[in-house]
Structure 1
Amino acid sequence: MGRRERRPVPLNRPVAGRAEPESRAFDRHLVSARPPEAATATVARTDAKPGSIYHALKQMAKEGLLIEHEIAPSAVGGPPRVEYEINDQGTEEYYTLLREALSSHEQKFEALTAGLSFIVDLSRAEAITLLEQRIAGLEQWRSGVTEYYRPEDGPRQLGHIGEIMKLWVHSADAGAQWGQ
């Protein structure tokens, strides 16, 4: 079987599995940023473990998000070494995950951190808009909590549930303050 001709990858397109410093690799948290109900039935991309990243890359290739390139046979008799190139569908999914990580207040902290790691892939104006959407979501969520819990009355009125609501309000306030 002949070796496939490799296309050059523009530097502004993320590439998974590349060792070159100028390429961008998928962060495992960004790969896992999709909520389970939005992931495909075959792979739930939540809480990817460091050892399972290759499984996730293979699955993403099966889903048409990446192109596999076998670049060298294994020196110890195992599977061949593979590099993964992101294609147009993968790039679209990458930007969807990135935008969700930055705009949704419901994302895990790891997803937000991953989104911030790749924020440079967006224009400044779009990044600001996404973070403003996050702040608006936090403020709306806080309003829902304070329908049942008034911070000025303190948590004692609701016992341990009041302590939880106090934490929620504080988290919403801190997230909104950070975002500004």
Structure 2
Amino acid sequence: MSAVRLLVLGSIARRGITHGYGVHQDLTSWRADTWTSVKPGSIYHALEKLAAQGMIEPTDSGDSTKLGPARTEYAITGEGKQEFIRLLEAALKNNDFQMVAAGIAFMELLPRARVIELLEERLDSLHSTVTFLRTLPTQPIPADPSKHPELVGLWVGYFEYAVSSTESLLLALRSGSYLFIDEK
């Protein structure tokens, strides 16, 4: 699963109709390059691939007053909306930092109850991961990297933080923070 694909579809879904530079502007203003592996080239590659797959389609914005060279503008298709929702739901329960970050960026485009449900699934997975990581053997002088106490400690610490931050987000959502699509 690709965070870039989710981000590009999400940008187009939010804007309605946009061109590649509009998507680039969104992701740049969100500083998505600091929390995902998105780069300008990956945005345009994703646009081409999404168009070829029928997830987005070239469209006429109706703006006849534009100056300068013509730009291809895109709108998300029905199939693209389904793919966006599928990617968004998968991202919100994912343990990968980039994926969950991209999911949180668009979580308000789902109903609040669904987001809570997905984050609860993520939390269960995170708890299982922490439990497993704590069982890993370590050695003072490790024979291989997987038994290095500092490496195992890093993994445990990362996932414990993920548990804590997911619990905090769930608390905020349950207390009514943010405005979701089913509340507008």
TM-score, normalised relative to structure 1: 0.64
CA 1:89–1:63 in 2, change beyond 3 Å: closer, same or farther?
Answer: same
Matches within 5 A, 1:44-55: 47-55=37-45
Task: Name the counterpart of 1:67.
Answer: 57
Indicate the SS of the match to 2:74: strand
Query: Could you list the per-position Cα deviations for residues 117-147 of structure 1 after superposition, in whole angstroms to 9, with x for gaps in the alignment?
Result: 1110111111111111111111111222122
Q: CA RMSD in A?
A: 3.2
SS at 1:81's partner residue? Answer: coil
Runs of 4+ in structure 1 off by over 6 angstroms are none
CA distance in 1, matches of 2:122, 2:105: 16
Shift of 1:74: 8.4
Q: Looking at CA atoms only, which structure, 1 or 2, has the larger radius of gyration?
A: 1
Number of aligned residue pairs: give it: 138
For residue 57 of structure 2, give the secondary structure of its aligned residue in structure 1.
strand
Q: Counterpart of 1:162 in structure 2: which amino acid?
A: P
Instruction: Pick from 119, 125, 139 the counterpart of residue 107 of structure 2.
Output: 119
The aligned counterpart of 1:57 is 47
Q: Could you say if the C-alpha distance between residues 95 and 26 of structure 1 is closer, same or farther in structure 2, counting changes exceeding 3 Å?
A: farther
SS at match of 2:54: coil
Q: In the alignment, is residue 142 of structure 1 matched against residue 130 of structure 2? A: yes
Higher relative CO (Cα under 8 Å, sequence separation at least 6) belongs to 2
Unaligned runs of 5+ in 1: 1-12, 20-24, 29-45, 150-154
Structure 2 unaligned runs (5+)? 1-12, 20-24, 29-35, 168-184
- Give the equivalent residue in structure 1 for 2:92: 102
C-alpha change, 1:103 and 1:68, in structure 2 (3 Å) is: same
- Tell me if 1:169 matches 2:159: no
Counting aligned pairs with the same residue, the percent is 29
